[in-house]
Amino acid sequence: MSFFTSPQVQVSSKAIELLNGVLGKENISTAESVRDHHSRDESSLQAFLPDCVVFPKDTLQVSECMKICYAHSLPVIPFGTGTGLEGGITAVKGGVCMDLSHMKQILSVNQEDFDCTVQPGVTRMMLNSDLRATGLWFPVDPGADASLCGMAATSASGTNAVRYGTMRENVMNLEVVLSNGDVLHSAGGGRRTRKTAAGYNMTNLFVGSEGTLGVITQATLRLYGIPEATLSAVCQFQSVQSAVDATVATLQAGIPIARIEFLDDVQMKACINYSNLEGLQELSTLFLEFHGTDDSVKAQADVVGEIVQLNEGSDFMYATEAEDRNKLWTARHSAFYAASSLRPGSRILTTDVCVPISELPEIITQTKNDISKSSLLGPIVGHVGDGNFHTLLLIDPEDESERKIAKDLANRMAQRALAVGGTCTGEHGIGIGKRHLLAEELGQVGIQTMRSIKEALDPKGIMNPGKVFL
Ligand SMILES: Cc1cc2c(cc1C)N(C[C@H](O)[C@H](O)[C@H](O)COP(=O)(O)OP(=O)(O)OC[C@H]1O[C@@H](n3cnc4c(N)ncnc43)[C@H](O)[C@@H]1O)c1[nH]c(=O)[nH]c(=O)c1N2
Ligand SMILES: CC(C)C(=O)C(=O)O
Ligand SMILES: [Mn+2]
């Protein structure tokens, strides 16, 4: 992997001195190792070094830093935990990487109202471990232990979204420091209602904004009761089509399934070896989970079991004990790393299309055929309950021809999704690699409207430049 230093902007010693004044010398770094750590996310995309990394400790410091960067026209790249998959934190124009990990307070938990407010350094696992004693949890689950504000910034979802929604449905209010240092509360200061009709939905403007409109310094989130009973199960199929047909039939039957995840035969091969899954074969597979009372989870599982039988699937293998459930879901969450282990030394180009669920069987089958005609290995894994799936295209990062084959596959997949009313990204965002697809997906008026919003909120174009827009 090659590295680039700032191609356009250099942070002057004067600006560094001013940032030092706000943060103290120990909370700003120009060290190569620190800049290197902040130059790339978990994707296979090119790394770009920021000129310096700052570690503010509160909203006031974020605001003071933004005022300096605004005055000096310096790019600012907000950084959560760096688990993104679309190059969102790479400093393509150099500038200041703002690492928010020192702001890690859970500011409030309102048990009676089922909500909480967190700072940007709080990760989803930190929150859920803190909440355990209250009987509440935050269900949005991208697998990686991402920061909750980073998850808001990318509009993340994951395995539980089919039942509990994505970040879009679960963020109630955001505190955002704008490019000029002003502090905005997207739903008004202190507001935490389940619904509002008060003007424009500014909260959802920032959900999915990928650091291009401001720095999220607080998020107020919806919480849920930990279900009384949880039942997980696995079943296997002889074809992709029958596994996905069973998924669509389950959703159409209105079962309130909590998780329904598809893994194709190639992904299963990877997971069986990587996570030691015994008793499972290299076949199209569904991992399922039901939430409710003891009786209701059994009733749901019975109905889905019948649907699976009708689609020629295997009997359910149940995971009832917490230890077995953890093993199953850890294997699912490790799918990305399991895939990579199929080809040591490879990196992954990840795709993320999402389509109306009735279109899912056709597009997954077409995609699988397309991959098998190429020279690449590309396991498929997906949140099929949302119509969302990923191909994990394994490439040699030094081989440009392989990268091109993978990009072409990804583009064809996106074109197929767009043609049937789908999107190029269900959950990972646009970052740098999908900007051309965004323009196509939204059309000219759509992209121009987005640009107008960007220009109004970030007139100097300093917020995470080079992302989202071409
Ligand atoms: C193994 C594995 C598996 C998955 C995933 C990753 C990995 C490594 N992901 C992707 C990833 O976890 C997800 O994009 C997170 O929401 C990113 O959160 P970070 O805190 O790491 O943001 P990160 O630091 O990576 O930043 C991502 C983007 O958000 C911006 N940003 C971060 N914090 C911000 C803040 N406070 N204010 C403003 N902008 C900010 C950044 O500038 C950047 O553009 C995922 N995702 C998903 O939705 N579903 C999934 O199933 C998975 N699965
Ligand atoms: C493939 C990874 C990145 C993912 O989103 C998932 O496991 O769902
Ligand atoms: Mn995913």
Nearest ligand 1 atom to alpha carbon 157: 48
Q: pTM of the entire structure? A: 0.97
Provide the mean pLDDT of the chain: 96
Q: What is the model's pLDDT at position 273? A: 98
Task: Report the CATH architecture of 3-99.
Answer: 2-Layer Sandwich (3.30)
Cα 268 to ligand 2 centre (Å): 14
Report the atom number in ligand 1 closest to the C-alpha of 152. Answer: 16
Ligand 2 contact via 450 beta carbon (within 6 Å): no
The C-alpha atoms of residue 80 and residue 99 are separated, in whole angstroms, by 6
Segment 9-50, tens digit of pLDDT: 689 999 999 999 999 999 999 999 999 999 999 999 999 999
Closest approach atom of ligand 2 to CA 428:
5
User: 37 CB contacts (<8 Å, ≥6 apart)?
Assistant: 82
Mean pLDDT value across residues 274-288: 97
pLDDT over 80 (residue 315): yes
Q: Which of 337, 341, 381 has most ligand 2 atoms within 8 Å of CB, for mutation? A: 381
Report CA(298)–ligand 1 centroid distance (Å): 35
Enumerate the β-bridge partners of residue 395.
Answer: 347
What distance in angstroms lies between residue 350's CA and the mean position of ligand 3's atoms? 10
Task: Note whether 382 and 261 are within 8 A (CB).
Answer: yes
- The answer for residues whose C-beta is within 8 angstroms of residue 358's C-beta and 6 or more apart is 248
Tokens of 149: 């504000």
Mean pLDDT computed over 134-150: 97
- Residue bearing tokens 């919003």: 453
Task: Please compute the mean of the pLDDT values over residues 322-346 and round it to a whole number.
Answer: 97
- What CA–CA distance (Å, rounded) separates 229 from 294? 5
Helix H segments across 228-274?
A: 240-252, 265-274
pLDDT at 2 (0 to 100): 39
Does 229-336 match 338-436 in CATH topology?
Answer: yes
The answer as to CATH 3.30.70.2190 being correct for domain 229-336 is: yes
Fold annotation for 338-436: Alpha-Beta Plaits (3.30.70)
pLDDT recorded at residue 3: 44
> What residue's CA is closest to ligand 2, atom 3?
336
For the Cβ of 176 lying below 6 angstroms from any atom of ligand 1, the answer is no
For 72-111, what is each residue's pLDDT tens digit?
999 999 999 999 999 999 999 999 999 999 999 999 999 9
pLDDT of 320 reads 85
3-state secondary structure of 450: helix
C-alpha to C-alpha distance for 341 and 274, rounded to whole angstroms: 7
pLDDT tens-digit map of 349-363: 999 999 999 999 999
pLDDT at 422 over 60: yes
- Indicate whether residue 143 lines ligand 2 (CB < 6 A): yes
Helix (H, G, I), strand (E, B), or coil: what is residue 424? coil
Please give the class, per CATH, of domain 106-225.
alpha beta
Among residues 42, 27, 38, which one has the least CA distance to residue 3?
38
pLDDT at position 1, please? 39
Domain boundaries along the sequence of the chain: 3-99, 106-225, 229-336, 338-436
Determine the atom of ligand 1 nearest the C-alpha atom of 337: 1
Beta strands (DSSP E) in 69-187 are 76-79, 96-99, 106-110, 115-118, 136-137, 171-177, 183-185
pLDDT at 7 over 60: no
- Smallest CA-to-CA distance from 384 within 263, 211, 255 is with 263
Q: Cα separation of 84 and 42, whole Å?
A: 6
